[in-house]
A and B are shown apart, each in its own frame.
Chain A
Amino acid sequence: DQQVKQNSPSLSVQEGRISILNCDYTNSMFDYFLWYKKYPAEGPTFLISISSIKDKNEDGRFTVFLNKSAKHLSLHIVPSQPGDSAVYFCAARGGSEKLVFGKGTKLTVNP
């Protein structure tokens, strides 16, 4: 049973436009959420996180929104750049140190 779901395996956007990556979770115990970016043959790189006491966190071009009642979070990238092309993983944590990851969304930003 997948506790963290990324229902879109892939997303393609034009350079300069907004990229929106979505993530849903089922476990109400999750209280901390993270986004990681992964390039081929590399390990995941931390991007941005949000605590469940907040509904928004912003870092430069990246913003994460959390809707606790809907158990939904999203990552917005504005403006998107070709170098943002990668696989993005949503991860959650609650009650323990381990991270629970979604399956990832492959983002392609076209020049």
Chain B
Amino acid sequence: GAGVSQTPSNKVTEKGKYVELRCDPISGHTALYWYRQSLGQGPEFLIYFQGTGAADDSGLPNDRFFAVRPEGSVSTLKIQRTERGDSAVYLCASSSGGRSETQYFGPGTRLLVL
């Protein structure tokens, strides 16, 4: 079946602009995760959804970052007033829920803020 998909695959924007990154999880997966990977680093947790609600948003770096999952499937990560330091690969993962369930990752969105 189809894996996790993310759009766009690449996004170039200017400092101060607003961006939206989309994630389509594996069909039927109730849990959805956002991570951010900067150059030379491993992925860093941002936020986790169980169904429609954000169960853990402790990784969001500040209030410029916000994510939604209104119908419990597709999720959008929103970044306001982008800064050059926001440049990274934004990864989405999904799982069928439960702590021992494997998280399956999408290909990521490469965000470059000029």
Chain A residues packing against B (C-beta within 8 Å) = 4, 32, 34, 36, 41-46, 49, 51, 89, 91, 93, 96-104
Query: Given A41-B107, A46-B102, A101–B33 Cβ distance below 8 Å?
Result: no
CB contacts (< 8 Å) of A89 on chain B: these are: 42-43
Tell me which residues from 23 to 64 in chain B have a Cβ below 8 Å from any Cβ of chain A: 31, 33, 35, 40-45, 48, 50, 55-56, 58-59
User: Once bound together, how far apart are the Cα atoms of A93 and B43, in whole Å?
Assistant: 13
Q: Which residues of B contact A (CB under 8 A)?
A: 4, 31, 33, 35, 40-45, 48, 50, 55-56, 58-59, 91, 93, 99-100, 102-108
CB-defined contacts of B103 to chain A, threshold 8 Å: 46, 99
Tell me whether B59 and A44 are in contact (CB under 8 A): no
A-B contact pairs, 6 of them (CB 8 A): A34-B102, A97-B99, A99-B43, A101-B43, A103-B40, A103-B42
Secondary structure call for the A interface: strand
For A101, give its contact among B44, B50, B102, B104 (CB under 8 Å): B44
Complex: A11 Cα to B58 Cα, angstroms: 34
Shortest CB–CB separation between residue B9 and chain A, in angstroms? Answer: 9
Bound: A103/B55 CA distance, A: 26
B43 contacts A32, C-beta separation under 8 Å? no
Determine the chain A residues whose CB is within 8 A of the CB of B108 once the complex forms.
42-43
* Cβ–Cβ < 8 Å partners of A36 in chain B: 105
**B33–A97 contact, CB under 8 A?**
yes
Bound-state Cα–Cα, A98 to B54, Å? 12
Which of B48, B91, B100, B107 is in CB contact (< 8 Å) with A98? Answer: B48
Contacts of B45 in A (CB 8 A): 98-100
Interchain CB contact under 8 A, A98 and B42: no
